[in-house]
């Protein structure tokens, strides 16, 4: 997940350097991949914590790390939107592709 975020960051920087709206759009669309990994990790760690309460502390730390990586991916996506705007002069009309369900899942547990 971290490597994917780093790759996306490198690509968005290149899209800015080259004023490449298509590359920025590609970064923008790939945010879902990071969200999907985060969702999968969230479910898996939740299962571990329910099955073995002694793993709760460790799994909670991993969940925070994963959520922060997911947020970094969101920030990269925001940069991609800005690069697209700089190059073409208008905002993206579509809603950002989003696959992060962990916030909704957490609220359902409360």
pLDDT at position 98 over 90: no
For the chain, the DSSP string reads -HHHHHHHHHHHHHHHHTT-HHHHHHHHHTHHHHHHHHHHHHHHHHHHHHH-GGGHHHHHHHHHHHHHHHHHHHHHHHHHHHHHHHHHSS---SPPP----HHHHHHHH-
**Extents of the domains making up the chain:** 2-19+33-91
pLDDT tens-digit readout, 60-94: 999 999 999 999 999 999 999 999 999 999 988 76
Average of pLDDT values for 9-16?
98
Average of pLDDT values for 30-43?
95
- CATH code 1.20.58.220 for 2-19+33-91: yes
pTM for the model stands at: 0.81
């Amino acid at each position: 997940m971290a490597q994917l975020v780093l790759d996306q960051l490198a690509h968005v920087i290149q899209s800015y350097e080259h004023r490449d709206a298509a590359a920025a759009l590609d970064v923008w669309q790939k945010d879902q991949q990071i969200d999907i990994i985060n969702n999968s990790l969230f479910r898996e760690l939740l299962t571990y914590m329910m099955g073995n309460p002694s793993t709760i502390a460790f799994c909670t730390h991993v969940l925070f790390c994963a959520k922060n990586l997911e947020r970094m991916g969101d920030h990269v996506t925001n940069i991609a939107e800005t690069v697209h705007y700089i190059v073409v002069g208008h905002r993206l009309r579509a809603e950002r592709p989003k696959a992060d369900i962990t916030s909704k899942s957490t609220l359902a547990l409360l």
